[in-house]
């Protein structure tokens, strides 16, 4: 009986659902600004992608190359990015629309702490932040998860067991 390979989009979906659930829990408990708790999400992403790479190599019985495993891990990352960007847009626009106001309020308080910033400059900075918040959030998600995904895929491909006798013709 042939082993059915778990598709990378399924693994990416599972990892993204875990991180989304975690971020919702942080928001509802008021801990969404706690940076140390936020790093746990990145640890889950890295661990999930590394696990995905190793699991893929095991399912293929080691008949894969570093590149095959890396590509699998990056497909998981791509799915994770798409789902997370969709969640980010939905959360800010539909699920938690008050989040934008809270972020702008925090930004205003931080700008007030800077004595070198005039009131008009602070107002312009706040307007700029409000206008471009969504593109910045999407860009940060794509860039951050893309970098973490590439690093995790490389680590996963490096530590996964590979069969050195496998030829390119053995691979699917």
pLDDT exceeds 60 at position 171: no
Cβ burial, residue 68 (10 Å; 0-12/13-18/19+): buried
- Angle, CA 79 vertex, CA 87 and CA 141 arms, to 5°: 50
Q: Confirm whether 50 is domain-assigned.
A: yes
Residue 53 near residue 69, CB atoms below 8 Å: yes
Q: Confirm whether 12 is domain-assigned.
A: yes
Q: Confirm whether 114 is domain-assigned.
A: yes
- Write out the residue range of the structural domain in which residue 100 sits: 8-163
**Percent of the residues in the chain that have a pLDDT greater than 90, as a whole number:** 58
Q: Confirm whether 168 is domain-assigned.
A: no
What's the structural domain count of the chain? 1
Higher pLDDT, 105 or 165: 105
pLDDT band for position 146 (50/70/90)?
very high
pLDDT band for position 167 (50/70/90)?
low
Q: Confirm whether 136 is domain-assigned.
A: yes
Please write the tens of the pLDDT for every residue from 39-58: 999 999 999 999 999 999 99
What's the mean pLDDT when you consider all of the chain?
Answer: 89
Report the alpha-carbon distance of residue 71 to residue 150 in Å, rounded. Answer: 9
32 alpha-carbon distance from chain centroid: 16
Report the alpha-carbon distance of residue 53 to residue 51 in Å, rounded. Answer: 5
Q: Confirm whether 2 is domain-assigned.
A: no
Q: Confirm whether 155 is domain-assigned.
A: yes
pLDDT band for position 163 (50/70/90)?
confident
Q: Confirm whether 147 is domain-assigned.
A: yes
pLDDT for the residue numbered 169: 62
DSSP helix/strand/coil, 114:
coil
For the chain, how many helices (H) and strands (E)? 5, 0
């Amino acid at each position: 009986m042939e082993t059915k390979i778990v598709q990378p989009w399924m693994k990416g979906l599972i990892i993204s659902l875990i991180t989304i659930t975690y971020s919702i829990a942080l928001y509802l408990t008021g801990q969404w600004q706690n940076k140390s708790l936020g790093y746990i999400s990145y640890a889950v992403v890295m661990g999930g992608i590394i696990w995905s790479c190793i699991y893929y190599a095991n399912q293929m019985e080691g008949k894969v190359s570093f590149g095959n495993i890396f590509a699998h891990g990056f497909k998981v990352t791509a799915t994770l990015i798409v789902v997370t960007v969709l969640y980010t847009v939905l959360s800010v626009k539909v699920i938690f629309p008050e989040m934008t106001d809270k972020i702008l309020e925090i930004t205003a308080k931080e700008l007030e702490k800077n004595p070198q910033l005039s009131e008009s400059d602070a107002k312009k900075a706040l307007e700029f932040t409000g206008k471009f918040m969504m593109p910045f959030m999407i860009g940060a998600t794509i860039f951050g998860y893309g970098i973490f995904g590439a690093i995790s895929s490389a680590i996963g491909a490096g530590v996964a067991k590979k069969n050195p006798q496998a030829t390119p013709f053995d691979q699917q």
